[in-house]
Chains A and B, each alone.
Chain A
Amino acid sequence: MKRRKVDLAQAPVTFARGVDERYKAATPLRGLLNKVFPDHWSFLLGEIALFSFVILLLTGVFLTLFFDPSMQETAYQGAYPALRGTEMSQAYASSLHISFEVRGGLFMRQMHHWAALLFMASIVVHMARIFFTGAFRKPREANWAIGVVLFLLGFLAGFTGYSLPDDGLSGTGLRIASAIMLSIPVAGTWISASIFGGEFPGHLIIGRFYIAHVLLIPGGLLALISVHLGLVFAQKHTQWPGPMRTNTNVVGERMFPRYALKQGGFFMAVFGTVALMAGLFQINPIWLFGPYRASEVSSASQPDWYVMFMDGLVRLMPNWQIYIGDYSIPPLFWPAVVGLGALTTVPMFYPWIEARRLKDKRIHNLLQRPRDNPERVGIGAMAFTFFLVATLSGGNDVIADKFHISLNAMTWAGRIGLLILPPLAYYVSVRICLGLQQHDREVLAHGVETGIIRRLPNGQFIEVHQPLGPVDDHGHPIPLEYGGWVVPKKMNRVGALAPAIKGFFFPVELPAEAPVSPAVPPLAGKPEREEITTGN
């Protein structure tokens, strides 16, 4: 029998043909490879959140292999001498086990925690980018709402996650969570008893939080992230205005080869950053807190940063209790239940609110510079100031301690600041936006300030302006339309000076020749660059 010769070079072709015959993949695959993505550094903020989520999944799976979500009491007999013999829950004992007796376990734990902080931080910064550039406008309103839900899910994932080790700090957090549930009118005691399986703390909560933390919430996150990215993909990414860019195109790079490669590199860089932080910066040293005891707490008991605004609002809330007959609503209800509910749902509707206010039904694929919508910037600044004051108040005892300020003064400063500073931030940011707008229009109308002062024959001094466009018969610039993008405001932006030399240790490329007007020939060849010294 004659042996058939295998043509290796032809194998991929044969394979690909076989795949296409079965799945008709050729056309959609080409579309995917060719898809054009616009490029801007601010578009990468959401990527950081995505990459942190991947790191969370990877490190989280590792931690589940060793963690025991049980509240069974046990006497610790592990490697950490200071706690040996102490009664503690299995959950806390196994967290200590991960930290001290699993090779590289502490590193994984710290990587998981740092990635969680980075996840939430990048979500917030990414949302700020979306908000201030108007990227949430039609047709992307739903994706904004999904993003807000993702923040809430991340918040819950974080809270359930740092409750799991059952150390002194996380038990205190659980105690407060129980109090928040109790504060809900009518059903509060029933909700708390149902979730904790009886009176606080019971024996079930760690197991329940565990399944929420490793299955339910990540499942929800995964599903919503898929929809979120799917919509970005289907609707195509927004882009900044600029040359060639219109509302009906995308200017950028095809996904392959360059764009995807850059994403891969960026992922590795984010991963590296988390690894470096996990190695060098200690986070949540649970062995110092001891097991949870209902009777013990230390000062400076702070939650993770993204929960601190809630803690701050709870601290600032005055002691106003509402009595209705024999019943009452404790003050904790307002910041912790109504406040958190409002802060995570009202922003969801902002795209529709703004569209209604501006009577704007058009489709927007071009981003807006923040200055071009001062009211929106004002609202955003207001929200962030509120968040900042609340977050700082969440650590007001530490601030009071370190700066030797009265604790009560800190609380009052927070209360007043929470009311006064947001409107102030609104006013200031709107004025800044209007000022920037006006300067853009001035430069478009009169040209760039050259810094050259000329004295006219009649003795008047004027500054010479470099027009950005054509001039009329009198030499005055013809006013230009604002294009929604950066207006050059300095002479070297319009090519008056040579571009800066690139390269860290030595020049990578020769500096381009400065453009020289044919009307003014260079005086004596090329002027040498001189070092400016003080003359010593």
Chain B
Amino acid sequence: MTTVHDEPDSPVDVNDPRLSRFEIVKEGARRDEIEIVTYESQFHGHNSKAEKRVARNIALLFLIAGAGGFAFLGFYIWWPWRFELGTAMSDYYTPLLGISLAVALFGVGFGILAWAKKLLPHEVSIQQRHNDPSPGDEQLITGQTMAFVAEELGQGIQRRPLLKGAIAVGLAPIGLAAAAPLIGGLIENPHKADPPMMFSTGFNQKFNDGKPVRLTRDDGSPIRPEDVSTGGQMTVFPGIPGGATNEWADSPTLLIHLRPDDAEVTRQNADADRRNKDSMWGDYVAYSKICTHAGCPASLYEQQTNRLLCPCHQSQFMITKNAQPIFGPATRRLPMLPLGVDEEGFFVAKSDYKDTVGPDFWERP
């Protein structure tokens, strides 16, 4: 058998049977341009007392890992885990799983780390790195090859205008055809529905066969004025099928029964406004609950100061002043729902909101 020397300058012959395994490793490292500067045991002498102690500690860590693993299995299988009300054994199921699995994993982890750091020899190796770009003419050759390819294809097109036209007219549609289903399938026109979805809520009479929509609780029951005490408030929904569900996410409304003096101020301000004129009913006012900033329900009602606060970004609205924003990032007031009472004595919306409900957008009129 002939030996092929792919490393002619190799100072050692790796086939030499007198070489130790480490010397072969060193030669391999040399071929990878690595110099193993130090590789020495951390202990004085073979099988020293210190070494045995470290080995014992590592073994202990692995045993702890095993114990943790068994504990995890034990807890997983036998500990009561089904949810029970009140204080129960099952409350500790997840913590016990966590602790036992952590013990197992820490045992393995620290065992391995101790092995690597305390038992294995200390090593310092130096590997060369090359910061030069590709050697010699390689850059030039590859560059020219690419230029050649471009030229072959490019000139071909230059010389053959028919091809140019065919590529533009023939291949471009394929790209568009690939993109079309994705865009065409996803795209939704936000303005197509009647009534337009961006500008209507469940209080639109079109959703109730042209009749005024009642204000209802979340269980669908209608509300009489005396159901809301003075200074009180109630979240109401459109009285249409599913009106309290997320199908009508823009419709939740806050119905407030103001104190008489606050109501007077509110009415003056509302009547001075083109859109909110005649929207109150008695001392009652209803504002959209959907914040005009980011759409969270502006649901924190400060009775003393007559403010509504949105807990998401802290916009604050003045109830007595047409719910104008007085602090925070909101720019637009909360729309007021035109309130009325039908012949049976239940609250109805005389019409849909006159302002756009919900977060603001580009084409809002």
Q: Which residues of A contact B (CB under 8 A)?
A: 30-31, 34-36, 73, 79-81, 87, 100-101, 103-104, 106-107, 110, 139, 171-172, 175-176, 178-180, 182-190, 192-195, 197-201, 236, 244, 247-254, 257-258, 261-262, 264-273, 275-280, 292-301, 311, 314-321, 326-332, 363, 365, 396-397, 407-408, 411, 508-509
Contacts and interface: CB of A to CB of B under 8 A. Distances in A.
Contacts, number: 287
A261 B118 CA distance: 12
Contacts of A319: 315, 325, 328-331
A178 B360 CA distance: 11
Given A35-B127, A100-B83, A176-B312, A190 B102 contact: no
A176 B295 contact: yes
B159 interface: no
Most buried by B among A254, A264, A295, A318: A295
Nearest to B198: A189
Given A31-B32, A193-B189, A280-B99, A268 B299 contact: no
Given A201-B246, A297-B311, 9 more contacts: A179-B293, A183-B361, A193-B190, A252-B124, A266-B113, A268-B112, A272-B103, A276-B99, A279-B94
A190 B190 contact: yes
Interface stretch (B128-136, B139-147, B221-229, B261-269): B128-136
A275 B95 CA distance: 9
Given A31-B32, A79-B82, A280-B95, A262 B117 contact: yes
Nearest to A327: B362
Contacts of A252: 124-125
25 contacts: A104-B81, A107-B97, A107-B98, A189-B191, A195-B186, A199-B249, A200-B250, A201-B246, A248-B130, A249-B126, A252-B124, A254-B34, A254-B123, A264-B112, A276-B101, A279-B95, A280-B99, A299-B300, A299-B311, A301-B311, A301-B312, A314-B329, A320-B331, A328-B364, A332-B294
Most buried by B among A87, A258, A270, A317: A258
Given A248-B129, A272-B105, A328 B359 contact: no
Nearest to A184: B362
Contacts of B281: none
B327 interface: yes
A50 to B, nearest CB: 15
B128 A248 contact: yes
Contact of B314 (A81, A265, A411): A411
B105 A269 contact: yes
B50 A508 contact: yes
Contact of A271 (B105, B129, B327, B360): B105
Contacts of A327: 362-363
Contacts of B312: 172, 176, 297, 301, 311
Nearest 3 pairs between A and B by C-beta?
A279-B98, A268-B109, A272-B105
Contact of B76 (A103, A187, A275): A103
Contacts of B248: 294
Interface string B255-290: 000000000000000000000000000000000011
A185 B363 CA distance: 8
B89 interface: no
